Amino acid sequence: MIVTIDGPAGSGKSTAARALAKKIGYEFLDTGAMYRAVAYYCLCNSIPWEDHSAVAAALPKIQLDMPLGRILLNGVDVSQEIRSSQMAEGSSKVAVIHAVREFLVAQQQAIGRGRRIVTEGRDQGTVVFPEAELKVFLVASPESRARRRFEDLQKRGETVSFEDVLKKQYERDKRDSERAEGRLVAASDALTLDTTDMSIEEVIELLIREVEKRC
């Protein structure tokens, strides 16, 4: 069985997907980390995220491995480096490139094939696993999403203002929602859940009930 959890930044999907996978004994796939790793590779190799042909040409040099919730880029663990606000912006810029999506979608489908997996991202229920047994789309108010992200970045030691996080989030949502492929949109058969006033525990409980209904 495949469970997809899609939604915008800060909707709680990472935390919910990771915790759900643990509770039900499924594997967990964080597809945003893959876009972030591509952006990080470009940064380290002075390839501008906006230079679509240079980014596409670099893809054969990128090897991603995702053991136990970590991400290795050409054998080096970059799990921490990719979490910065700079990589949030970079990942959404490389995510508009057709070759990047083709490259990562194929890997995600290979990882999920024949497995019991909870996978999270933007296009998991629409493009990557349209046959998934349970599709969830999480939403939350822009302010509550930015608040969660602001707290995460503060914990990481980044000096950011709430206003700036909100503004960057707006720009990223716009890029993610308006691109040609793999847009941020709920699958027609997804269960949409507004997490604005829900605790993470409530979200997880609800998701477990939905999984149980399908077993």
Residues at the interface with ligand C5P (CB under 6 A): 9, 31-32, 35-36, 88, 91-92, 95, 121-124, 172, 176, 182
Rounded to whole angstroms, how far apart are CA atoms 17 and 15? 6
9 labelled as ligand-binding? yes
Give least dist CB 104 to ligand C5P, A: 8
Q: Which is nearer to ligand C5P, 119 or 207 (CB)?
A: 119
14 labelled as ligand-binding? yes
Q: Which is nearer to ligand C5P, 10 or 204 (CB)?
A: 10
Q: Which is nearer to ligand C5P, 26 or 129 (CB)?
A: 129
10 labelled as ligand-binding? yes
Give least dist CB 144 to ligand C5P, A: 16
Give bridge partners of residue 138 from the DSSP assignment.
193
Give least dist CB 32 to ligand C5P, A: 2
90 labelled as ligand-binding? no
Nearest to 26 by CA among 12, 11, 16: 16
The sheet that has 134-139: what strands, in order across it?
A: 27-30, 117-121, 2-6, 134-139, 191-194
Q: Which is nearer to ligand C5P, 144 or 213 (CB)?
A: 144
CA terminus-to-terminus distance, the chain: 9
85 labelled as ligand-binding? no
Give least dist CB 35 to ligand C5P, A: 3
Which residue type sits at 168?
K
What one-character DSSP code corresponds to residue 126? I
CB half-sphere exposure, 180, CA atoms < 13 A: 8
Give bridge partners of residue 5 from the DSSP assignment.
120, 136
Residue ranges for the known binding site for ATP are 7-15
Binding residues, as ranges, are 7-15
